[in-house]
Structures are given as structure tokens and as C-alpha cells.
Structure 1
Amino acid sequence: MPHPSISNYFISLDEAKKLSKSIKIPIKEEKVKIEDSYNRILSQDIFSMVNDPPFDNSSMDGYAVIYSDTINATEENPVELEIIDFISAGIVSDKEIKSGYASKIMTGAPIPKGADSIIMIEKTKSSNGKVLLFCPSFPNYIRLKGENLTKNELILEKGTFLTPHEIGLLATSGHHIISVVKKLKITIISTGDELISPGMEISTGQIYESNSYVLEGLIKQIGHIPLRKKSIPDSIEKLREELDQASLNSDLIITSGGVSMGDLDLVRKIMETEGNILFWRIKIKPGSPPLFGFWKDIPLFGLPGNPVSSSVVFQMLIDPWIKSITNAKGPNKKIIKAKLTEKIKIKKDFLVFVRVIVENNGKEMIAYTKTHQGSGNLRSLSVSNGLAIIYPDSKYDIGSTVDIYLI
């Protein structure tokens, strides 16, 4: 039954994504050194400043030779050449290779004029200024100028999420300072009278607060700044104070707990009366109660208090929204297919995410559950490596093929 004051009530995950992605916030950029760019998002296309390699060079320790001199070389009838130079990496030889001659060359050293191939040192024997070749040389052991990158080539697109390999590519292409998306500041507020911080002495009726730590890690994984606050009790006044403070120094607010239909679900209540709700409740399991709206013009996602629900909603809803507004093309989680080894119950009209272990049994990829699927069972996420996506109104028996979202 629709909620009387909220137009987008109990909608599908796709509808929730569409509605949230229609909301944009100002995204700034800044310049950083490449050594400080790990997990950052490029805000501009990157073009190579150089050719890579910048010159023809040897991919082996050996001898630079003329291929036609070596074509008939065998173990029984080696070819003998005169050594005229020794070329190490960083040295440019001024001696041209002519028929009957060779230059000893190290990996990465520039190819001397006249040479068109390399023979590895293991296939030779040298003495008294001569070298015996026991097989033909190899033209493909020369790395050609620009075979990896050409100058002014587009190498990384705007929105690229920078991992160590992309950072290495930036260095290879000559870049030292780059433009990146300024990290979003995301405040995390957990609510509930029962919550206490890890390390405190626990009493009957209390639980250790964990959601903010999970959310903090998920935010860091995608390259932004979590501002994790100490959990607050179920108090409208305290909640209002924390939300007001967060609105002054945050690009996004994420709350945990207080969004369902109970008397003390205060996030939902204060957002109804003092905030602006775009949607509330989504047809997914676990995690159906979330809301999305604004607190003083700052976007706010209200997540369920159950740990699994909180994590799943972040991964399926908030993560795509953050990537959308920052134009980020990663990091991307993979979806693979696997066969169920057990029957999975469906939930009519709901998209269900089942925590599973997915592995190769030697014949095919299989998926199975390890622990119970309660939304308060955070261990079920820790021991699983995937979420089986159970689509509404489908049938999932033993042997059914399912999509697995790898976590």
C-alpha cells in the first residue's frame, strides 16, 4: 500500500537507481602527483607525451647482428662474428653493424645502426674478440620504437579509476602531475540506543556498532573520504544536530538504522518532517527499507540498521550513484555465472541477493551457501565471495544457472 506522503514508495532497485542518478552534485577537480593518485578518478583524458619505447632496443642480453649473417648457424656449424662494441642500457653506440660483425648488447640498450636482430647470449660462445652463434638470430627480440605507445596517443580516458598499473602507465608516458576528481567527503552516522563502540565494556541489551566500519571501508575502496561519526542514541534532537553538522562539511550523508516503520525509526521520521524524501523502501532482500533524499540540500541515503542490509544496499545503490556523479569507470565488480548446488527460495516481486561461496569444482563454477541468510549475520558476508542474484518470480532449483556478483 503506498505511503501517503511519499510518491516513490516501495519501488524496484532499477527505479531507485534511476531516481538517485537523476540527482547531481557539483564535482570539483584537483591536480595531484602520480604517486598520490592511487584509487583516484581521472577528470581529464590522458595522452602519451612520448613514444614507448622511445627507440628500438634489445629485449635480451645478447648480440646485435645482421640476420642474414646468422641464418645458417647451427650447433654443428656455428657462425663466427667479430665483436666491435659493448652496449649497455642508456648508451648509444656510434659503431654501425656491418656484415661479419656483432655488438654485445644488454637488455634495454638501443639497437646500433645496421643491426636487425638479436641472438641471446645463451646461444653463443665468445673468446678473443670473436663470438660463435649456434642458431639464427631473432628479429622479434628487438622492441620497436612506439610499439607500446605512440606520442599523443589517448592512453587513459576521463573517469578511469587509477590502480597501480594505470599509475605505472602514467609514469611511462611522461606524466608527473595529473587532474583528478576531488574526493567526496561522505559522513556516516549510525543510530540506535543499543549501539556502543568496539573496545567499550558491553552490557545486556547492547551490541557493538559495526556498520560504520563496513561503510567506511566500502567508501575508501572507491576512492573517497569517509567521515565516520560515533554512533548516536535514538534522539531526534541529537540526530538533527548531527545531520546539521554533516550538511556543513559533507558532499553526501549516509545514515545507518532508523529507516523502517518502528516508533524509534527516527531517520525516516525526521526526513519526512524536516527533510525531503525522493523515495523510501526498495523491493530487494536483504535491505528493503532504505530511503534517499536531501537534508539541507545535501543528498542523504538512509540505510537499514542490519549489517548485511546496510552493506548490500551500499553496493547495489550508493556505489553506482557515486560512480555516476563522478563519471568513474571503476572499480567494477564482476558478474559471473555459476550453477546452484541447492534450491533457493524466491520472494515474490523482490530481487534477492543470496550470500554464496562460488568456486570451480573441476568441471564448472558452482555456488552454495555457507551460513544462514539472516540480515544481521555479518559473518555470512565475511565467509562468502559472491551474491547470487535471484530475480523476481523465477525458479531456482539445484543445477539452475545464476548470476553471481563477486564481492
Structure 2
Amino acid sequence: MSGCGCGGGDLRPVDEAVALLLERAPQAPAVEWVPLSEALGRVLAEEQFAAIDLPAWDNSAMDGYALRAADVPAQGASLPLAGRIAAGEAGSTPLPAGHAVRIFTGAPIPPGADTVVPQERCEAMPGEVRVPPVQLGDHVRRRGEEVRRGEPLVEAGKRLRPQELGLLASVGIARVPVHRRLRVGLLSSGDELREPGEPLGPGQIYNANRYTLCGLLRSLGLDVQDYAVLVDELAASRDALSLAVSECDVLVSSGGVSVGEEDHLKNAIRELGELHLWRLAIQPGKPLAYGEIDGKPWLGLPGNPAAALITALVVMRPFLLRAQGVREVLPAPLALPAGFAWPQPRSRRQYLRARLEAGRVVLHPDQGSAMLRAASWADGLALVEIGQTLEEGQPVAFLPFAELS
């Protein structure tokens, strides 16, 4: 990885920067076992296998009647009823030849039956049922047709969603090994920053980045330690960083990494550890810093609110997910028709706040690096590559926000 690079130089491609960070991601935190009810959003540490067949027995996919297909001629038939089987019952009594049995969704298919006819296709009469022609095996869920005992179920490195929790529960898994939540220390830099609810003095602004980044980090399932704003003094920055690194696995900050005289954060990092300062080929959000203190990573994001959000989503997010133990961390953009023209090529990859309207990607008119309103209006980012031009209707890459959380 290159050195500080504080004096400028060529712009580093975004994908190259992300790849370098992923190579430097620390080992995932230690493993702990948690109940399935507490595993949502956690990262699975060990591959899970099916403990049973799923389904565990042949069962009915419909409310209806179970029978032998061979007992029903081409024109249909009236069959005497031999009882009923509800979900949760054993269904172990063999079906007599030439009979049907009333059955409900999820109930076991009795020995001898091989087909289920939905009730809406049948005519029920006292003691018998009229059924239409049938196809052998209709509406029967076969034992093990979804998963066989011993098959891989959920791979390690997966963030557990509701559907994974349900799948694990369906084979009886009650506890799972997951990585401890990554502890991320969040810091903001700038004497001008004030908290919402406080009065603003001349030249002061509210600390939007603290809430944007804290919300994003928590949405990723991380354990966030939110520290006070760093005052613009070298000694204060150094002390705050020393405390944070003693309590956290990774540090993230916004602001304080440009070339201004009051940007003391980068100098504190350099004194305490190792500093790399890059200029990325991204708009918004060109300055990005990476460093290490006592072997623990630090990411320094830009101070402008929209730039901080975009670099957090595009650069910070995959790095922190990999550090949490997630294997697949890079989202795949969708190719959708552009509802805008882009006639002038740019020297940096554009991440434009956009949303879908009538199947097309449309842009917010305000794309400034300090403007968060456009991101709130948007439901994703349109990506325009370096040197690329677009005519309206041409495909453009679109990253939904839903894929970035």
C-alpha cells in the first residue's frame, strides 16, 4: 500500500482502493454462540448443515383428499372416505384400496396414497367424495425434496436474514456460531460542529455526519461506540484516538483529513501509528484516509455530508463487512434505462443521487457534496464511469440503497 500521498498525485480508482482495503481487513472477531432468536443480522462463523430431511416426511401441499392415482379412471370417480388427517397427526394408518382420505396442508401422506386432489376440485358427499381425473404425485411434497440430511444449508460468512433464520429453524437448529459484533469507534472532527438542539454561533454547523454514519454503522449490525467531537488541537486528537483504539476494533472518523492547517487528525494518526492519505477518483468525496494505530484500522472520511455518506457506502461499508467476517461484500449494480442525459465526460466516477420513476433512473437536481437532501429524496445511486457519456434511455448502472445496508 502506498505512503501518505498528502501532496496529491494521481487519483486512485475507487475499485482499486476498495480492493486494497479488503486485503488489509483484519481477522473477523471471535466466535460466540447465540440463540437463533438473537441471530438476525449476525455473521455466521461456521457452515451449517441440515440435521434432518426437509420435509421430514411426504406431506400434503394442499387442503384436499389423498388417494391412489391408480384408483381414479380417466373420467374421474367417487371414492368412499376412510377418515381424515390434520397437520400434526401421525397419518400412519394405511389407506385402503379404492378409498380417499380427507387431508389438510402439511399433514403426512398415509401409506398407500400417492396423490392429493385440492378440495376446490372435488365434490364432497356424505361418506364419499367425487374427484376429477388426477396426475400421479400431484400436490405431494416428497420427503427430503428441499434438503437432505447432512446437506450444506447456510455458508459461513453469511449475514443472517429472516429467511436464513427460518431455514435453520426448519431443521431444528436452535443456536448458531456467529462472530462477535465488530466494535467501531465513531469520531467527528471540527470546532465548528454542534449537536442538534444546541444554539448555533457564527460559523457553526450541526453535526449531520455523526447521525448519518452512526445510523449506517448500526444498520450493518456493528457495535458503535460514539465519541465526542474532537477539538481541532493535536494533543486532544491524539488523546481521543488513544482512548478509542483501546476500546474498539476499528475507528471511523469524518472531517480533519484534508490539507488545511486545522486538520490535526491526520497528524495525530501519523504520530500514533501509520497513515495513508489517498485522493480517490470519486465524486462526491475525493479525500479518503486510511491508517493503523496499534494494528487497528482507521478510516477517515470527508467532512462534507453527502461526500461522507457516499464514501461510507462505497468504500467503508465493504471494508467493515469484511472485517466482521462477511465474505460477499460488493453489491452488483443494476443496468436500467437512464431518465437523464450525461453529455460531458468527467475525470472521476460519479455517484449521483437518483431514484426510479416509471422504470427509469432520474436524478435529483442538486448533486453537491454538502447536500444531503438529494440523498434523502433518492432510493439509490446512479454510477457514471470516468469518461462516460449517456443519452437518455441508455443503460446506466444503478445501486439501490437497499443493497447498501
- Answering whether residue 405 of structure 2 is matched by residue 402 of structure 1, we say no
Q: Which amino acid aligns with 1:224?
A: L
- Answering whether residue 137 of structure 2 is matched by residue 102 of structure 1, we say no
The 5 Å alignment of 1:103-252 reads: 103-136=101-134, 139-252=137-250
Deviation for aligned residue 1:3: 6.8
Deviation for aligned residue 1:386: 2.2
Q: Which amino acid aligns with 1:62?
A: G
Deviation for aligned residue 1:97: 1.7
Deviation for aligned residue 1:209: 0.7
Match in the other structure for 1:13: 14
SS at match of 1:243: helix
Query: Once the two structures are aligned, what percentage of the paired residues are identical?
Result: 28
Deviation for aligned residue 1:134: 4.3
Distance 2:164 2:336 in 1: 31
Say whether the 8 Å CA contact 1:84–1:95 is kept in structure 2. no
- TM-score calculated relative to the size of structure 2: 0.91
RMSD: 2.4
1:244-267 Cα shifts (integer Å, max 9, x gaps): 111111110001111111111121
- Answering whether residue 273 of structure 2 is matched by residue 275 of structure 1, we say yes
Cα distance change of structure 1 residues 94 and 287 upon mapping to structure 2, 3 Å threshold: closer
- Answering whether residue 67 of structure 2 is matched by residue 69 of structure 1, we say no
SS at match of 1:22: helix
Match in the other structure for 1:314: 312
Deviation for aligned residue 1:125: 3.3
Distance 1:339 1:107 in 2: 44
1:305-325 Cα shifts (integer Å, max 9, x gaps): 111111111111111212333
Say whether the 8 Å CA contact 2:5–2:276 is kept in structure 1. no
Say whether the 8 Å CA contact 1:43–1:179 is kept in structure 2. yes
Say whether the 8 Å CA contact 1:290–1:303 is kept in structure 2. yes
Moved more, 233-242 or 35-44: 233-242
Moved more, 392-401 or 54-63: 392-401
Distance 1:387 1:34 in 2: 34
Deviation for aligned residue 1:119: 1.8
Deviation for aligned residue 1:330: 5.1
SS at match of 1:311: helix
Deviation for aligned residue 1:121: 2.1
SS at match of 1:139: coil
Say whether the 8 Å CA contact 2:318–2:330 is kept in structure 1. no
Match of 2:380 among 376, 382, 386: 386
- TM-score calculated relative to the size of structure 1: 0.90
Cα distance change of structure 1 residues 5 and 376 upon mapping to structure 2, 3 Å threshold: closer
SS at match of 1:305: coil
Deviation for aligned residue 1:172: 0.7
Match in the other structure for 2:366: 372
Distance 2:109 2:314 in 1: 53
SS at match of 1:262: coil
1:239-292 Cα shifts (integer Å, max 9, x gaps): 222111111111100011111111111212322344311343222111111100
Cα distance change of structure 1 residues 395 and 86 upon mapping to structure 2, 3 Å threshold: closer
Cα distance change of structure 1 residues 228 and 371 upon mapping to structure 2, 3 Å threshold: farther
Cα distance change of structure 1 residues 72 and 207 upon mapping to structure 2, 3 Å threshold: same
Match in the other structure for 2:287: 289
SS at match of 2:138: helix
Say whether the 8 Å CA contact 2:5–2:277 is kept in structure 1. no
Distance 2:354 2:289 in 1: 27
Match in the other structure for 1:85: 83
Match in the other structure for 1:32: 34
Aligned length: 398
Q: Which amino acid aligns with 1:20?
A: L
Q: Which amino acid aligns with 2:32?
A: E
Moved more, 266-275 or 382-391: 266-275
Cα distance change of structure 1 residues 391 and 93 upon mapping to structure 2, 3 Å threshold: closer
1:364-391 Cα shifts (integer Å, max 9, x gaps): x422222311111011111112222222
Say whether the 8 Å CA contact 1:184–1:251 is kept in structure 2. yes
Q: Which amino acid aligns with 2:27?
A: P
